[in-house]
Structure 1
Amino acid sequence: MAAAANDFEPWLSDKLKSLKTDEGIFGSYISGILESEESTDEKKDALEGILSEIVEKDISIHVNEIIEKWESTKPKEAASKPSTDVDAQLAKLLESQAPAATARREYTDEEKKIREAILSQYSQLSDNEEDEVHDEISDNHDLVKNTNAADVAAAARERREQARLEAQRKKEKDKEDREKQKQMKEEKKEKRKTQKGERKR
């Protein structure tokens, strides 16, 4: 996988920059999806979910491009290996991810706010959704559902909402400023008229 990461990560980073998005956040989610043991169709669905928050058109073209690049950079021996027992693959995956889980990452203030917003949003699951999650966990022998795509989508929604609110605030402030300037002009005109009237007397 190291060789794949060496070729794929810089390409993905450039790709996300060209889509005018934060490659730091979205790159790791996309890589996580591609490295998972899910089927290609499931990976495509997850990638479409993420990309729909970034771009508005040609989503499937971008998804196919990312999948093709990933497949072409993936080590060949890993691809040609016969599929082993699912439990063995899972154990390997968990072992490879264990060291990464212990390394703590410092978040910026903006990332903390987004994270808190996402957590508060998902803490309000309806009873049905909670039941579904519990069913899935028990079906998967106590495995937790991967919510990367949903987290990314929620973070992107949060950022868009924030930008919309800021734009609205700026619009209102500009309108107020124009009104003040107009009012000041009117007051100056009135003052000049009053002064001219007094001079004539």
Structure 2
Amino acid sequence: MAAAVCDFEPWLNDKLKSLKTDEGVFGSYISGILESEDSIDDKRDALEGLLSEFVERDISTHVTEILEKWESSRPLEEVPKGAADVDIQLTKILESQSLATTTRREYTDEEKKIREAILSQYSQLSDNEADQENVEEPESSDLVKNTNALDVAAAARERREQARQDAQRKKEKDKEDREKQKQLKEDKKEKRKTQKGERKR
């Protein structure tokens, strides 16, 4: 950073003097913007906003000039560290992947024969299994059919049926309760009417 400051600061001070502004105040602001870890676009926007305070024309030209001078005066290892690190890591990853995909193992004749024998054996097994699935096997006392899925489905059906019946019962009970409450209201009304009628006599 020292090299950048040595080259850039005197140039920036001269630039700000030529723009007839206080290099002491605005120079530190501009350096702060440039040293931040913002993107180039964000830096450009910030510099344009700052320069618009004291420059009336060619603001974008001045901003471009400042950014170019800043970039050229920075030491090479300082050029965006984050981006350089990401590029290096990405390159390493891509190299390792390309190595993994390009290195292809060559089999000896004996290994090829073994491999083919295994593959053919597996293909025969899968053909036989497919044939056996189509043929119903007689039940053997040694083998027990796995009925887990059927049991779970049956239990779920039973629970749904039970829940449906419970809901139906509750619906009927609620209906009965409403009828009873309605009847009680009617009875109370009748009772009041008869009591009023008796009082009037």
**TM-score bracket relative to the smaller structure:** 0.3 to 0.5
TM-score using structure 1 length:
0.41
TM-score using structure 2 length:
0.41
Higher RCO (CA-CA < 8 Å; seq separation 6+): 1
Greater Rg, structure 1 or structure 2?
2
